[in-house]
Amino acid sequence: MRIIPAIDIIDGKCVRLTQGDYSQKKVYNENPLEVAMQFEDAGIQYLHLVDLDGAKSGHIINYRALEKIASKTTLTVDFGGGVKSNEDIKIAFEFGANQVTCGSIAVKNEEAVQNWIQEFGPDKLILGADVKEKKVAIHGWTEETEISIEDLVGKYAEFGLQNVICTDISTDGMLTGPNFELYKELLRQFEKINLIASGGVSSISDLETLRDNRVHGAIIGKAIYEGRITLEQLTSFSYA
């Protein structure tokens, strides 16, 4: 299972939110590159980089932070937040993203994402599905929809997109454990997707349970920054 630390960026700084609430912001480091280099030094290979300013505004803002991390580390970076146009996705890849996560755009403009799948290939894109009570939320979690997570994943699986990050908003930043049942249900329904769990990871035990449930990867954020999981533990787990 892939271990994928997260760096969320607001105003160029490494932050974490609680349940996607921008008013509950905590700054952990002024320099995201410094954090990324710590991950790399610990033997971590992957990074989930989110432009929260971009997610809220509707276009990429923190692409310079992406460029610094991509050019100065060997981390495989998936980037999301504010990717809404052809220009945005080209900027993301130009400035070093290995993969781009399509969140709100996958709900609002299905045709654009289909075109990107054809242009860049399905392996270069990730469906970012942020979920509250099994309904998809968009625009930095500020807008709820009536679209179910199953319908969204099913639609894009038909288009050939197999990489899915599913964030359970109710658990995100709470350090109370992931929504295991949600991930089990998705994998029962869509056996071939590469499901990446996001939200609530608080311990190595959580990671072990996700791995036992055939989850492809796990994104870990606040648990690292609050010292619940050490980088040494993550390194040991990834090689276990």
Q: pLDDT, tens digit, for every residue of 189-202?
A: 999 999 999 999 99
Task: Supply the pLDDT for residue 240.
Answer: 61
Residue 214 CB contacts under 8 Å (≥ 6 apart), including other chains: 187
What is the number of structural domains in the chain?
Answer: 1
Which pLDDT tens digit goes with each residue over 56-102? 888 999 999 999 999 999 999 999 999 999 999 999 999 999 999 99
pLDDT at 114 > cutoff 70: yes
**pTM score, whole prediction:** 0.94
Q: Other CB atoms closer than 10 Å to residue 13's CB: what's the count?
A: 17
CATH number of residue 104's parent domain: 3.20.20.70
Token reading at 171: 């658990």
Q: Which is nearest to 186 in space by CA: 117, 129, 108, 103?
A: 129
Q: Which of 8, 88, 172, 206 is catalytic?
A: 8
pLDDT at 184 > cutoff 90: yes
78 in active site: no
Token reading at 143: 């807008």
Domain containing 201 equals 2-238
| Helix boundaries (H) for 121-197 | 149-158, 180-189
8 in active site: yes
Outline where DSSP puts E strands in 81-215. 99-102, 125-132, 135-138, 143-148, 163-168, 194-198
Q: Which of 51, 78, 88, 130 is catalytic?
A: 130
Task: Supply the pLDDT for residue 56.
Answer: 86
**Cβ distance 178 to 201 under 8 Å?**
yes
SS3 78: strand
SS3 121: coil
The span from the first CA to the last CA of the chain, in angstroms, equals 10
Rounded to whole angstroms, how far apart are CA atoms 173 and 59?
Answer: 24
Rounded to whole angstroms, how far apart are CA atoms 101 and 165?
Answer: 8
